[in-house]
Amino acid sequence: MKKIWLIGASEGIGRAVARELGKNVDNSLILSARNEERLLDLSSELEASSIICPLDVGDSQSVEDCWKEIVNKKTTIDTIIYCAGYYAPMTAENIDVAQIEKMINVNLVGAVRVLSQAVPEFIGKKSGHIVLISSIAGYRGLPNDTGYGSSKSGLIHLAENLNCDLSEYGIKVQLISPGFVRTRLTDLNNFRMPSLMSTEQAAKHIVKAIESKHFEVRFPFLFANCLKLLSLLPYSVYFWLMRKIRARLK
Ligand SMILES: NC(=O)c1ccc[n+]([C@@H]2O[C@H](COP(=O)([O-])OP(=O)(O)OC[C@H]3O[C@@H](n4cnc5c(N)ncnc54)[C@H](OP(=O)(O)O)[C@@H]3O)[C@@H](O)[C@H]2O)c1
């Protein structure tokens, strides 16, 4: 039986991933997010066994308390999927410090808080699997993406750091970079989102990805690979293109 701790399970992509993983009775899930009611409701519909452990990843004490609860239940985690996230659309003309702090706190520092609890155990037992849900928005600076892009590029960097240091302990680290997925977060966007997909489609990609050996899995194939290729362009060409894209977004 595989014990999977899924953080950010109450809504959107994380909820759909829980449903996908929950179809397999060989999985045992620990579902975390802030909204206890939504977690309970999700837990009751899964075929696989599951427990809930509500937490606020923005608060170190809350993460520690949740980890203590997991340890007290003598649960040994095999896989951590960090899918908690926050997004506020923002241009550089309207910088909102509080919102940027929140994005970096939830999207990046929250992952560090969770990992600081679990990684020592993974190192001790010389196994474990860490999956960070980042975004193709983290590859390179995009228009109208101030703050969020920084938090996601930080998460990409963190995944690389972890993989450098933890592979010698047999710990598998993976980075998953989705394109646009329809959730309450992308409902805030007022532009046409290319290759927009459902949470169910995204969850199938993610579950397949975590069974693979790849460090990074990005999807949808065409759009995500185009963005990856764009990130390799020289700055002069890249910024010329971004100015064109920004003009179209207005
Ligand atoms: N939607 C997209 O197009 C897209 C694309 C690429 C990457 N992503 C990433 O995918 C992940 C999921 O995003 P989503 O679109 O599914 O958003 P969502 O529907 O808003 O779900 C976000 C999840 O994170 C949890 N969360 C937020 N703040 C939290 C906190 N302080 N403590 C604990 N949990 C917290 C939420 O639960 P509670 O509110 O109950 O706490 C919820 O379960 C995020 O990392 C996002 O950046 C999304």
Ligand 1 atom having least distance to the Cα of 13: 16
End-to-end CA, the chain: 51
Spacing, Cα 14 to ligand 1 middle (Å): 7
Spacing, Cα 42 to ligand 1 middle (Å): 15
CB distance 189 to ligand 1 below 6 Å: no
Spacing, Cα 237 to ligand 1 middle (Å): 33
State the chain's mean pLDDT as an integer. Answer: 97
* Euclidean distance between CA atoms 124 and 64, whole angstroms: 18
**pLDDT given at position 128:** 98
**pLDDT given at position 248:** 86
Contacts (Cβ under 8 Å, ≥6 apart) of 13: 83, 133, 178, 181, 183, 199, 202, 203, 206
The range of the structural domain enclosing residue 102 comes to 2-249
* Euclidean distance between CA atoms 69 and 218, whole angstroms: 33
Number of separate domains in the chain? 1
| Residues of the chain scoring pLDDT < 70 | none
Cβ neighbours, 10 Å, residue 191: 12
Spacing, Cα 209 to ligand 1 middle (Å): 19
Report cis status (omega within 30 of 0) of the bond before 220.
Answer: yes
Among 82, 135, 199, name the best residue to mutate to test ligand 1's pocket (greatest count of ligand atoms within 8 A of Cβ). 135
Name the residue at shortest CA distance from atom 19 of ligand 1.
12
Phi and psi torsions of 217, nearest 5°: -125, 125
CATH code: domain of residue 221: 3.40.50.720
- Are β-strands 128-133 and 27-32 bridged in parallel, bridged antiparallel, or unpaired? unpaired
Question: Which of 161, 141, 162, 144 is CA-nearest to residue 153?
Answer: 141
* Euclidean distance between CA atoms 155 and 153, whole angstroms: 5
**pLDDT given at position 249:** 82
For the segment 35-93, what is each residue's pLDDT rounded down to a tens digit?
A: 999 999 999 999 999 999 999 999 999 999 999 999 998 889 999 999 999 999 999 99
